[in-house]
Amino acid sequence: MAEVNFVTPLHIGTKRDYGARATADKGACAAVARQWGVDYWDGARAYGFGGMRYDGRWLPVAEAMARHYGLRAGDRVLDIGCGKGFLLYELTRAVPGLEVAGLDISTYAVEHAKPEVHSQLTVGTASTLPWPDAQFDLVLSINTLHNLYNYELDAALAEIMRVGRRHRYICVESYRNEVEKANLLYWQLTCEAFCTPREWHWLFDRHGYRGDWEFIFFD
């Protein structure tokens, strides 16, 4: 198990207006976002991504993952919380012949996924994965598990362990100080588990997760 930073370079390169998110109707916007529909993905920025369209930004992340985990043609990768499948598509570019699968709670995201990987995506929840044991060489989850309640993490982490056979990687939002905590609270729309890195490690240990991790901070 080790800390790796695949997503952080992409994350810190994105500018955010935290104050603009901290509006009087933030609660109403969050309620819409947690429906995981068109507003969250392709609606106004107040409800989520403000339009998630493919622009190639995930290719460097995919290439870094492929190098780090030594992925080869014929290996199998699962992305839990895959959204529209952009990272999975980039992984197939980085490693031709890679077999990919994705799962997301959003029917809208799967229906509007990158066409090249659409058939490999499934609608479902992280706590009940529809694959047999030890099916994947890499199981990854980016900015998804913090959207679960703490009592749901046990099942989700157990499922990640169950379906993986080699490598596992989780990226979640976190905070190290009061400024980052405030910014996270301002910015987030769907987060339920607000944990420091130390708390995340406690949860990983408590629920038997053995794999790599990355924390995203809002500084």
- Evaluate whether residue 2 is within a structural domain: no
Nearest to 63 by CA among 125, 131, 10: 10
Cβ-based neighbours of 56, under 8 Å, separated by 6 or more = 90
- Evaluate whether residue 87 is within a structural domain: yes
How many structural domains comprise the chain? 1
Kindly tell me if the per-residue pLDDT of 72 is higher than 90: yes
Kindly tell me if the per-residue pLDDT of 147 is higher than 80: yes
Is the CB of residue 170 less than 8 Å from the CB of residue 209? Answer: yes
> What pLDDT score was predicted for residue 168?
98
> What pLDDT score was predicted for residue 141?
98
- CATH assignment of the domain containing 161: 3.40.50.150
- pLDDT per residue over 86-132, tens digit each? 999 999 999 999 999 999 999 999 999 999 999 999 999 999 999 99
What would the mean pLDDT of 183-205 be, rounded to a whole number? 95
Is the CB of residue 83 less than 8 Å from the CB of residue 49? Answer: no
- Evaluate whether residue 199 is within a structural domain: yes
- Evaluate whether residue 47 is within a structural domain: no
- Evaluate whether residue 38 is within a structural domain: no
The whole model's pTM is what? 0.96
Residues 203, 199, 152: CA angle, nearest 5 degrees: 40
Kindly tell me if the per-residue pLDDT of 160 is higher than 90: yes
Distance CA(164)–CA(36), nearest Å, equals 26
Kindly tell me if the per-residue pLDDT of 22 is higher than 90: no
Place of tokens 């379906």: 163
Determine the 3-state secondary structure of 162 from DSSP. Answer: helix
- Evaluate whether residue 166 is within a structural domain: yes
Determine the 3-state secondary structure of 15 from DSSP. Answer: coil
Segment (H or E) for 166: strand 164-173
Could you give the strand order of the β-sheet that contains 121-123, starting from the edge strand earlier in sequence? 121-123, 99-104, 76-80, 136-142, 164-173, 212-216
What would the mean pLDDT of 56-62 be, rounded to a whole number? 97
Kindly tell me if the per-residue pLDDT of 199 is higher than 80: yes
Axis-axis angle for helices 86-94, 59-69 (nearest 10): 60
Which of the four pLDDT bands, split at 50, 70 and 90, describes residue 60? Answer: very high
- Evaluate whether residue 159 is within a structural domain: yes
- Evaluate whether residue 175 is within a structural domain: yes
Domain that holds residue 65: 8-24+55-216
Kindly tell me if the per-residue pLDDT of 24 is higher than 80: no
